[in-house]
A and B are shown apart, each in its own frame.
Chain A
Amino acid sequence: MLDDFFVRALVAGVGVALVASPLGCFIVWRRLAYFGDTLSHAALFGVALALLLESNITITVFGVSVFIAVALMFLQKRATLSADSLLGLLAHSALALGLVALAFMTWVRVDLMGFLFGDVLSASVNDITVIYVGGAFVISVMVFIWRPLFAATVNRELAEAEGVNPDRDDVVFMLLMAGVIAMAMKIVGVLLITALLIIPAAAARRFATGPEQMAVLAALIGSASVFAGLFGSLEWDTPSGPSIVVAALLFFIISISPLAALVTRNRPGPIVDGG
């Protein structure tokens, strides 16, 4: 079954969508979209570094993402720049550095488009193994830190007073995010990873009544986007990564349309007016 490139693409894509969804929820809740963008743009620099050092691309990208995340935490405490300027500076500098470094390496021929926009159709059995083994690890850790991480998202001081260690969970979450970015790069490319993380979660928000439900719904919407995007790209001969993101966008548009309002209105449980 895995002989067919299209089946491999589907399996790999769904795997990444399943892993990305719970993290994507936290990115939406904690307003970390630009943070995710910065890490993923830095991934291209990781690719350049891996080619230069002839090391494993996934591991090197993971390492560079972690480095950038730590640098961000450090700079946010010291620098006089605002957080968003700092993120913009790092995101695009890292992307530019990666592109310049790749251009200097005339001895390697790289498919730049594949790294920028993903090349899920070339996913190998080896890639799938990495995604599912790594993904299983990411999900298990997420299950473990889910409640305290969510509590600290609602109110950090409340969580800390009641025995949660938010700093530790933040670091763990950041490491997981770097890991998912390294895995997802192959599927949608460094420019679109954040989209795969946040769009399914954003689409799930309208239908979810609880955080756990939102993560499961986001996983379903993400997987459906992979299916729709890949079949669409096969049908209309469009690039696979962007097609997946466009499919996710369509799900999001459906979620905010009046059609979805009908579903949410019929949801059990009282609707209470604010006041």
Chain B
Amino acid sequence: MLENSGSLTRLRNAGINRGGRWLIRGVDMDVERGQIVTLIGPNGSGKSTTAKMALGLVAPDEGNVNLRDRLCVGYVPQKVSVDWTLPLTVSRFMALTGRIPRRQIDEALAVTGVSHLRNAEVRTLSGGEFQRAMLARAIARKPDLLVLDEPVQGVDFNGEILIYELIKSIRDDLRCGVLLISHDLHVVMAATDQVVCLNGHVCCSGPPVDVASSDAYRELFGTRATPTLAVYEHTHDHAHLPDGRVRHADGTITDHCHPDDSHHHAPEISEKTGAADVG
């Protein structure tokens, strides 16, 4: 039913409940062909859970998720540990879920800069090298939908810029949809079409702003990074407390936090919110 629309995966009011607690709730999100969507949010805000829902790995407990049929997916999970008992070289790892022509493997390893590690055992790679190998594996499949869960973890700053440039060029070449999870709350890749900020629900979403237009960030990252990085400027009017309740800008505390909650976007700012974490 999605064949005519551009959405590769579509979430509508989707939520996951585990043991009576909502890990994430009320997510509306679309990833369309040729689009880059970046998910941001603090630890435990449900970014990975949302990505898994979008991939159909976990079924939503409310709302619905539509993943297009027969989609070729490339997935880079947040954490993959290869046990020492597994004899696995990088080139075999590339063909993990399906046979891939040798030329495509070579190309993918070349663009991610790990061609020299082709015959290395995966468990001997450093964190950054493995991250690049995982990215190479995902793109060698020439996916329709690329889902990257913190693809730049363990990669140094220059490498991070290169990987962001690479993701953009992959999107341009393959016209695939990209769902990217970022560990950074404010800085995202400039090519992002849509930023979705999560904290147990969708706090806000929108396009990012050029780093170049912000003096403070341009100073921080230098001119080299400015075409690649962008800033997502946002402040929240409520904070999530450790016990799961929500403290709103006016100082009131409620059990839930919903887009239709009357407390949202309350005009006045209470002093009590100062100590709370970013929400």
Binding site for B on A (CB under 8 A): 28-29, 147-148, 150-151, 153-155, 157-164, 205, 208-211, 213-214, 268-275
| A to B CB contacts below 8 Å, 29 in the list | A147-B95, A148-B97, A154-B82, A154-B86, A154-B96, A157-B77, A158-B75, A158-B80, A161-B55, A161-B57, A161-B75, A161-B77, A161-B147, A162-B74, A163-B97, A163-B98, A205-B85, A209-B87, A210-B87, A211-B92, A269-B89, A270-B116, A270-B117, A270-B119, A272-B120, A272-B121, A273-B124, A274-B124, A274-B125
Contacts of B86 in A (CB 8 A): 29, 153-154, 211
Known: A269-B120, A273-B124. A164 touches B52 (CB 8 A): no
Chain B contacts of A28 at CB under 8 A? Answer: 85
Q: Which residues on the A side are within 8 Å of B92 (C-beta)? A: 210-211
Determine how close the nearest CB of chain A comes to the CB of B153; give it in whole angstroms.
16
Q: Are A272 and B125 in contact (CB under 8 A)?
A: yes
Chain B nearest CB from A13 CB (Å) reads 26
In the assembled complex, the Cα of A268 lies from the Cα of B121 at a distance in Å of: 12
With contacts A148-B97, A154-B82, A209-B87 taken as known, whether A162 is within 8 angstroms of B75 at the C-beta atoms is yes
A161 CB contacts on chain B under 8 angstroms: 55-57, 73, 75, 77, 147
* A241→B85 CA distance, assembly (Å): 26
Whether the pair B88, A155 counts as a contact (CB closer than 8 A) is: no
Number of chain B residues whose Cβ lies closer than 8 Å to a Cβ of chain A: 34
The answer to whether A211 and B77 touch (CB under 8 A), given A270-B119, A273-B124, is no
B97 pairs with A272, CB closer than 8 A: no
- Chain B interface main SS type: loop
Q: How far is the CA of A131 from the CA of B199 in the complex (A)?
A: 57
Evaluate contact between B57 and A150: CB separation under 8 angstroms: no
What sequence of 0s and 1s flags, for each residue 64-88 of chain B, a beta carbon within 8 Å of any chain A beta carbon?
Answer: 0000000011110100101101111
Q: B97 and A159: CB pair below 8 A? A: yes
State in angstroms the CA–CA spacing of A275 and B93 once bound together. Answer: 19
Choose among A147, A210, A214 the residue with the greatest number of B CB atoms under 10 Å from its CB.
Answer: A210
With A161-B55, A214-B87, A274-B125 in contact, do A151 and B117 touch (Cβ < 8 Å)?
Answer: no
- Check B123 for interface membership: any CB of A closer than 8 A: yes
Chain A CB within 8 A of B171 CB: no
B residues with CB within 8 A of A: 52, 55-57, 72-75, 77, 80, 82-83, 85-89, 92-93, 95-98, 116-117, 119-121, 123-126, 141, 147
Cβ B80 vs Cβ A155 within 8 A: yes
In the complex, A153→B83 CA distance in Å? 10
Instruction: Decide: B52 and A29 in contact? CB cutoff 8 A.
Output: no
CA distance A211 to B85 in the complex (A): 10
- Bound-state CA distance A194–B50 (Å) is 41
Closest residue of chain A to B83 (Cβ to Cβ) is A29
Q: Which residues of A contact B97 (CB under 8 A)?
A: 147-148, 151, 158-159, 162-164
A208, A213, A214, A272: the one within 8 Å of B124 (CB): A272
- B87 near A213 with CB under 8 A, answer yes
- Measured CA separation A193–B49 after assembly (Å): 41
Partner of B123, one of A29, A213, A268, A274: A274
How far is it, in angstroms, between the C-alpha of A268 and the C-alpha of B89 when the chains are bound? 12
Chain A residues near B93 (CB-CB < 8 A): 154
Q: How far is the CA of A26 from the CA of B277 in the complex (A)?
A: 45
Q: Separation in Å of the B22 CB from the closest CB of chain A?
A: 21
Give the distance to chain B from A263, nearest Cβ to Cβ, in Å.
15
Q: Write the nearest CB–CB distance from B121 to chain A, whole angstroms.
A: 7
Q: How far is the CA of A272 from the CA of B116 in the complex (A)?
A: 10
How far apart are A30's CB and chain B's nearest CB, in angstroms?
9
- Residues of chain B with a CB closer than 8 A to A150's CB: 96
10 closest A-B pairs by beta carbon, nearest first, are A269-B119, A161-B75, A162-B97, A208-B87, A272-B120, A161-B55, A151-B97, A151-B96, A272-B124, A274-B124
Complex CA–CA separation, A211 to B86 (angstroms): 7
Pick from B88, B123, B126: contact of A211, CB under 8 Å? B88
Question: Does the CB pair B77–A158 fall under 8 Å?
Answer: yes
Of all chain A residues, which has the CB nearest B75? A161
Once the chains are docked, how many angstroms separate the CA of A164 from the CA of B123? 23
* B145, closest chain A residue (CB): A161
Asked whether B85 lies within 8 Å of A163 as measured between CB atoms, the reply is no
Of A155, A159, A209, A273, which is within 8 A of B89 by CB?
A209
The answer for the CA separation of A205 and B263 in the assembled complex, in Å, is 60
